[in-house]
Amino acid sequence: MPFPDSSDALLVAEEASEGVVGFIQAQAPPGRTKAWQILNLCTSSTAAGHFASERLIEALCNFGLEHGVHRFHVRLPLDHPLIPAFLQQHFTQFATEQILYRDEAAETVRAISHPTLIRPARREDIPAIHLLYLRTTPSQVADFEGPSLNTWLAGYAQGVVARLGRDDVRHYVVEHPGLIAWAAIRSPSAMRPAQLTLMCEGHDADLRDAIIDAVLAELPPGPAACVLRHYDSELIRALQQRGFAVYGTQLLLACDLGVKMRIRQSVRRKKPLLIHAGIAQSVPVIVQRSERRERSSRK
């Protein structure tokens, strides 16, 4: 199995009689060193390899904490035997992802009703893309993955939005009039097909279909893949109608070891501007008649 040179951690487990019984490998997205994605975890089928999986995950987390990493995530196929090992190490599942794949584009290309519907994205669009993410993502997922702009840029889609305009990924947005859709297209290579990342509001079904057609028209010829989450069911259905098929299902597990503490700061007490109001008390009032009023009454 080839190991990329850009991996940030590669740990192995050894046993006295069997030698190496497992390894684990993690890598940080480009430009984001506070979050690691676990790329590989492989152990032997022996008893030593069975117990080595949890030890490797624990050792990797400790190694990452020593280097300032506090968030780890991993993607595993559905019903993978290593899922319990990650759950026991405080990983939690917060999304299910569908992998869609298409060998070739359909021969009949859908007509694009709005040729100027999409435009290239700019770096100043990043805050609006984050707001679009918050509107299209369940709160329990967004609260963990994107509570702030910087946290979201570090983890979402392996930091593809953070590198907008700085790599070979083409970004597109749709405004109607606010930003309602975003797409990222990575060109294919000898090792992988073209990759599509898509996010779109689904209030208007006809507009959503027009946006998908416009984005697919920008895909290069040849195979293409797209990963969508379980709450993007409308987008998954729309891509299936356009030649994509569900290639697999995977779970997205994450672990956040960052401890947030509220530090109390002694505040200098200032002189109060207002005083506490007391209880109003009744005061007897003595009415005195004037001398002029007495004279007028005598007359």
List pLDDT tens digits, range 272-292.
Answer: 555 555 555 555 656 555 555
212: enclosing H helix or E strand: helix 205-216
Distance CA 71, CA 64 (A): 9
Distance CA 207, CA 195 (A): 23
| CATH code of the domain occupying 97-249 | 3.40.630.30
Extended strands (E) in the chain: 9-15, 19-27, 35-43, 71-77, 92-102, 119-120, 170-175, 179-186, 194-200, 224-229, 245-256
Nearest to 125 by CA among 55, 181, 71: 181
Q: Residues 246, 153: contact at Cβ < 8 Å?
A: no
Cβ within 8 Å of residue 78, ≥6 positions away:
96, 248, 249, 250, 251
Digitized pLDDT (tens) for each residue of the chain, 299 residues in all: 445 555 678 899 998 888 899 999 998 876 566 788 899 999 998 888 888 999 999 999 999 998 888 889 899 999 899 999 999 998 998 889 999 999 976 654 454 555 678 999 999 999 999 999 999 999 988 988 888 898 888 778 878 898 898 889 999 999 988 999 999 999 999 889 999 999 999 889 999 999 999 999 999 999 999 999 999 999 999 999 999 999 999 999 999 887 555 666 655 555 555 555 555 555 565 655 555 555 555 55
Q: Show me where the domains of the chain are located.
A: 97-249
> What's the predicted TM-score (pTM) here?
0.76
Distance CA 4, CA 109 (A): 38
Strand 179-186 and strand 92-102: the pairing is unpaired
Nearest to 17 by CA among 41, 43, 47: 47
Q: Could you tell me how far CA 54 lies from the centroid of its own chain?
A: 26
